[in-house]
Structure 1
């Protein structure tokens, strides 16, 4: 009887089972993303989303062919709306999570219903309580497995930063999985349709499983590629900052050479009888002295060079830069790391000040000191307009942001090498970048 029973037309998955699976898959994604709502408000919206999803799928039961596909598309739209209301993320990231949630839900619902139908028809075990038990167990296993797999790929920075191409590829995978796994239920007049529903159940579950595996593999691959790309960009920035330091050292050496030459200018000035030429000499000497005043004496040669070179850039762009830096505690840091921290922070500050039209508002303050066995570095600069933050760092305003904004990421990467942390804040049009690094040896 069992073999014959499995050849009969088996019922479709109950719509509530599908709605519950889609809702649980969305909850799984919400737990991974940064939430815009919390507490009772999150619980209320989640409960309303489950009710809406269940009512919609139940009311649209019986639709066939094209209308059924539109119904499922609307169900995915409700899933996206649920994620959008609960999570603070880019629309592309939400779309990426939505596709993943839909494929996972399809797998859970298909697997559970196939196993339940097996016991119901093949084994002839028709116990409603057992059906509920099976629903709980299968859903728990599927979603717990998905949670454990994707949790391993979470980053401390948060946010997937999905590009348009990556989202398109993800949608294509999800759409292909859905169409191939459900084609036999849309119409019996296709080359891919079997007249034995048990076979369709097997195909659907296996395709959903393969689709979930493909999406996970794609997710791992894009995370790996993005990590390698960011690491390469960070390494390039570190190298460029070090090269800037070497060039700056040559410039400072030239300034020192010019300073020592001033005594020869003084001798020439004393011997000059023409008042006009003497005045030109004085103006030239004054200009060279102002250039030399840009030098900083911190007690650390690397910092002296960096601060001097950046100060020269500030003078050229009519930016007032003040610094109170004790360079003696920086001896434990690698030269390239010092270049990365100060170079990236000051480059970003200078770039910001260049956009300010009023030269009197172009202000940068730098300070570094020790307190309670911590090295504290502060960068402050005035800014105009508004700043958008993501992952606790300001979002770049340049075109093609996926290829920019690595300066502060490189800085944070360097600081964390020494067990430190970076804090960014704004107040009254002042941008504050604070760095805290523990000192291994108390001063």
Structure 2
């Protein structure tokens, strides 16, 4: 079969469209070593595919008298080539490759059907492939990237291990590629324009359905990952609460004994009383446990106050621990610990000593337990659209921000909510929890005073 320059251009453009769409979905993945050589190999494979298609497709096109099933096989092979490209060029599992290949190929088919619909409505050009199609394709790809591809995180792609991706490969071959060939058959049969238009519109909806389904699979996987991470953090916080409580109790007991020993030494020796008072004041720092009426709150406030003392951060606290007696100790530790950790991290960055401060107020108001924390911050805090909490300031956002999510889960558990705002260099965090009409759990109050 003779070479045809027009068909070669057509095949090359199709190849470029598929490859570019697939690369959009895999752009957040890390690349493998010897990238240049791998790119050359992929280029050779797709050029060979384009050359072969330019020879085979004309005789298989609807209306040419050939077998249209050959088209399904040819385009199915291009989908396999796209899968190979992802796993060969990027550090990705086979399941990630399935996702990027099927999603990218579906995006290319969606764009092609939209282009044909535009030509049905407004004959912009003939229905053949030409360089004038590049701009419309790039525009659709840009919209797709800004709409949802840019929101796909690398960690979510890395953890795709669901075999539903294999089923999506079959769906794309038969529902997307196969149906597209059927529509081409109908176009060649010169059926009523309205029927062809309806079929092409159906193909667009099929493509959108596949993309939405794949995005939901990815989103659910990312959500599972986040929930598992938050649950692990909360388990660790529960264990940390027990360790902190025992440690603080041991330190307080030892410091209490040391104070009495210092007083005894002061009576029976000639040590300078001023030196003894200084020693007693130093011990008082560790023996001054916070007493709020809630054991878990006492532990976390005492722990953080010691850290603030060490880092020259002022922590002022007015807290009524009884108003959160309905909360489990581990939840109190998680909520207060994460809130104070975030405030402490911001205070550390302040160079002005007067701004290295944290204010905490916890009290009951009407039928609500209200927690308010204020601290200065440096830099810029970013709030997402409609979000009540700021995004993490860490470089790797996908691996951080779980402290805020943990706080949200705790608040949601008690039918409360969290809201934050930043104004004039001051960050305000508010947590509102409805007081139960009947006690929930075990009251954490009753800690002894010294």
TM-score range, shorter chain: 0.5 to 0.7
Q: For residue 262 of structure 1, what is the aligned residue in structure 2?
A: 259
The CA distance in 2 between the partners of 1:353 and 1:75, in whole Å, is: 45
CA shift, 1:326, in A, is 0.4
Q: For residue 74 of structure 2, what is the aligned residue in structure 1?
A: none
Structure 2: runs of 5 or more not aligned: 1-61, 65-116, 440-450
Q: TM-score, normalised by structure 1?
A: 0.60
Tell me which of 134, 138, 150 is aligned to 1:70. Answer: 134
Q: For residue 376 of structure 1, what is the aligned residue in structure 2?
A: 370
The CA distance in 1 between the partners of 2:151 and 2:132, in whole Å, is: 33
Asked if 1:273 corresponds to 2:263, the answer is: no
Alpha carbons of structure 1 residues 163 and 261: separation in structure 2 relative to 1, 3 Å: same
Tell me which of 212, 216, 225 is aligned to 1:216. Answer: 212
SS in 2 for 1:394: coil
Alpha carbons of structure 1 residues 56 and 274: separation in structure 2 relative to 1, 3 Å: farther
SS in 2 for 1:65: coil
Alpha carbons of structure 1 residues 194 and 425: separation in structure 2 relative to 1, 3 Å: closer
The CA distance in 1 between the partners of 2:178 and 2:216, in whole Å, is: 24
Alignment deviations for residues 110-138 of structure 1 (CA, whole Å, 9 cap, x no partner): xxxxxxxxxxxxxxxxxxxxxxxxxxxxx
Asked if 1:420 corresponds to 2:398, the answer is: no
Alpha carbons of structure 1 residues 298 and 8: separation in structure 2 relative to 1, 3 Å: same
Q: How does 1:19-418 map to 2 (within 5 A)?
A: 58=122, 60-62=124-126, 64-67=128-131, 69-76=133-140, 80=143, 94-96=147-149, 161-163=151-153, 211-257=207-253, 258-275=255-272, 280-293=275-288, 295-390=289-384, 391-418=387-414
- The farther-off stretch of 390-399 and 68-77 is 68-77
Q: Contact 1:418/1:438 (CA < 8 Å) preserved in 2?
A: yes
The CA distance in 2 between the partners of 1:410 and 1:322, in whole Å, is: 24
Two-structure CA RMSD over aligned residues (Å): 4.1
The CA distance in 2 between the partners of 1:413 and 1:432, in whole Å, is: 19
CA shift, 1:65, in A, is 1.4
SS in 2 for 1:370: strand
CA shift, 1:210, in A, is 5.2
The CA distance in 2 between the partners of 1:61 and 1:398, in whole Å, is: 50
CA shift, 1:324, in A, is 0.5
Alpha carbons of structure 1 residues 331 and 311: separation in structure 2 relative to 1, 3 Å: same
- The farther-off stretch of 318-327 and 282-291 is 282-291
Alpha carbons of structure 1 residues 163 and 209: separation in structure 2 relative to 1, 3 Å: same
Instruction: State the aligned residue count.
Output: 310
The CA distance in 2 between the partners of 1:166 and 1:241, in whole Å, is: 25
The CA distance in 2 between the partners of 1:195 and 1:338, in whole Å, is: 70
Q: TM-score, normalised by structure 2?
A: 0.59
